[in-house]
Amino acid sequence: MQHIWIKAIKENGKVKGDYLVQSKTVAQTRQGNSFLTLTLADRTGTVEAKVWDRVEEISTQFKEGDIITITGQANTYRNQIQIQIHELKQNKSPVDPAVFQESTPKDITEMFSELKKLAHQIKNRHLRALIESFMADHQFISQFKKAPAAKTFHHGYLGGLLEHTLSVSQMAVMVTEHYPDLDDDLLLCGAILHDIGKIDELNFELSIEYSDKGRLLGHIVLGILMVEERLKTLKDFPSELALRLRHLILSHHGEFDSGSPKRPKFLEAFALHLIDDMDAKMNGLGRLLKDDRQEGSWTAFNNLFQRYFFKGDSSAKANDKGVDIDGRQQRQRYLFPVD
């Protein structure tokens, strides 16, 4: 069955597909008739939908958090798209989570294989043993490959943590080649491990949310605890090396205000912080600029950065949009092959 992505719904167009019920309310018209207001979601956004008929009967068939299959028609109410639902049933068959959550555009298996190759380049046997200890933990790796790197902004989608980790690690290798005074093994190992605490900081089953321990402890401290547990099993790990590695993780946000309990105190710690910052900005701003739908040469005001971003002459961006749409169509074909 074909799924119409929410972002692709057009005024007066047909709507058809599986959607997550984010909220569900029964209310009365002024004439006293019940109607149902739903907020439906897929990974491309949310939309309001109405059921005007057989409300009591339909209303009992599903609850918030369920996935429903509908057909309907889109119209506009107060400048917002609104769906009039004609048919509705609860979806009982297994659904591809990727319909409801965005995933990395890159291939997870390939990226992980790249990361392993980099890890094999670590010459220091202690650091290599540490990384291998993580790599050998199937439960950890399964989560590591699935986790996003953030709730929003940069790499905020399934597989984002791996994508970000690989990119930071590749940059770490390039930077140590450019600045040979840097300890390449230490920086690469810090790059691989710097954000592993995100696995515990975020819940990412249905949607990306902070976990309780994420908000109370944060991924920096959670990551330190994960590394500590492994270090205990590696008996002759040199103490200064362990100290430097822990410091890399602790200080990788660079400043107290960004939640680092310590600021960088040696070269590799500065390097890791700057590479991480670069990768977060290139991914986060890159996506923001691509996804921006504001007319003209500037994005909407961005609260995180407290500024507008420059997109420049929009004619030059035509290709990008084309590619983007193609990408979406291809992924859709994969998810909902035509029967």
Q: First vs last Cα of the chain: how many Å apart?
A: 7
Nearer to a second copy, 3 or 244 (CB): 244
The reply to whether 57 sits near a second copy by the rule CB under 8 A is no
Q: Binding marks (x or -) toward a second copy, 78..117, rule CB under 8 A? A: xx--------------------------------------
- Is 14 a binder of a second copy (CB under 8 A)? no
Q: Is the dihedral of CA 303, 309, 315, 319 positive or negative?
A: negative
Q: Give per-residue burial for 208-228: e unless 16+ CB within 10 Å, then b.
A: beeeeebeebbbbbbbbebbe
**Binding test (CB under 8 A) with a second copy, winner from 56, 205, 236, 313:** 313
List the beta bridge partners of residue 49.
Answer: 38, 83
Among 145, 262, 317, 331, binds a second copy (CB under 8 A): 262
Kindly tell me which of 142 and 302 has the beta carbon lying closer to a second copy.
302
Binding of a second copy by 194 (CB under 8 A): no
| 234 contacts a second copy (rule: CB under 8 A) | no
178 touching a second copy, by CB under 8 A: yes
Name the residue nearer to a second copy (CB basis): 61 or 302: 302
CA nearest neighbour of 130 among 249, 235, 268, 262: 235
> CB of residue 250 vs a second copy: minimum separation in angstroms?
6
d(C-alpha 201, C-alpha 151), whole Å: 10
Please tell me whether residue 153 binds a second copy under the rule CB under 8 A. no
Q: Which is nearer to a second copy, 96 or 110 (CB)?
A: 110
Under rule CB under 8 A, residue 307 binds a second copy: yes
CA distance 286 to 282: 5
- Binding of a second copy at residue 266 (CB under 8 A)? yes
The answer to whether 218 contacts a second copy (rule: CB under 8 A) is yes
User: If binding is defined by CB under 8 A, does position 27 make contact with a second copy?
Assistant: yes
Could you tell me if 260 and 253 are in contact, meaning their C-beta atoms sit under 8 angstroms apart?
Answer: yes
Residue 244 near a second copy by CB under 8 A: yes
Q: Quick one: which of 2, 33, 76, 90 contacts a second copy (CB under 8 A)?
A: 76
> Taking a C-beta distance cutoff of 8 angstroms, is the pair 55, 34 a contact?
yes
Q: Given candidates 265, 325, 326, 334, which one binds a second copy under the rule CB under 8 A?
A: 265
Question: How far apart are the C-alpha atoms of 321 and 284, rounded to whole Å?
Answer: 17
Task: HSE, CB side, 13 Å, CA atoms: give it for residue 254.
Answer: 10
Q: Residues interacting with a second copy, by CB under 8 A?
A: 11-12, 25, 27-28, 37, 75-79, 167, 170-171, 174-175, 178-179, 181-182, 212-213, 215-218, 220-221, 224-225, 228, 240, 243-244, 246-247, 250, 256-263, 265-267, 270-271, 274-275, 277-278, 281-282, 285-286, 289, 297-298, 305, 307-313
